A = this chain, B = another copy of it.
Amino acid sequence: MPDLPPLTLIPFIDVIGTFVFAISGTQTAIDKKLDPFGASVIAFATALGGGTMRDLLLNLRPVWIQEELLLVTVFVAVMVTLFFRKQIGRFRRTLFLFDTMGIALFTVLGMEKALRLDVPPLIALVMGVVSAVFGGVVRDILCNEIPLIFRREVYATACLAGGASYLFMRLAPVPVGVPVWIAVGIIILIRLLAVRLKWAFPTLTPKE
Contacts of A66 in B (CB 8 A): 119-120, 123
Known contacts A85-B208, A145-B144: A35-B71 contact under CB 8 Å: no
Q: Which 6 A-B pairs have the closest CB atoms?
A: A38-B150, A35-B201, A59-B61, A68-B122, A30-B204, A144-B146
B37 lies within 8 A of A149 (CB): yes
> Which chain B positions have C-beta within 8 A of A58?
61, 65
The distance from the CB of A59 to the nearest CB of chain B, in whole angstroms, is: 4
Counting every copy of the chain, the complex holds 3
> B200 near A35 (CB under 8 angstroms)?
yes
Q: Which of A102-110, A151-159, A164-172, A187-195 contacts B (4 or more CB under 8 A)?
A: A151-159
Give Cα A32 to B204, complex, Å: 8
Bound-complex Cα distance A122 to B70 (A): 11
Contact in complex: B57, A123 (CB < 8 Å): no
Q: Are B145 and A39 in contact (CB under 8 A)?
A: no
Residues of B within 8 Å of A71, CB to CB, are 122-123, 126
Give complex CA distance A39, B151 in Å: 9
Q: Are A152 and B35 in contact (CB under 8 A)?
A: yes
A121 (CB) vs chain B CBs: closest residue: B68
Chain B: which residue is nearest A35 at the CB level?
B201
Q: Judge whether A123 and B65 touch: CB under 8 Å.
A: yes
- Among A52, A123, A126, the one with the most B-chain Cβ atoms within 10 Å of its Cβ is A123
A204 to chain B: which residues have CB within 8 Å?
29-30, 33-36, 39, 82
Q: Is the CB of B141 within 8 A of A142?
A: yes
- The answer to whether B34 touches A150, judged by C-beta atoms less than 8 angstroms apart, is yes
Q: Which residues of B contact A29 (CB under 8 A)?
A: 150, 204
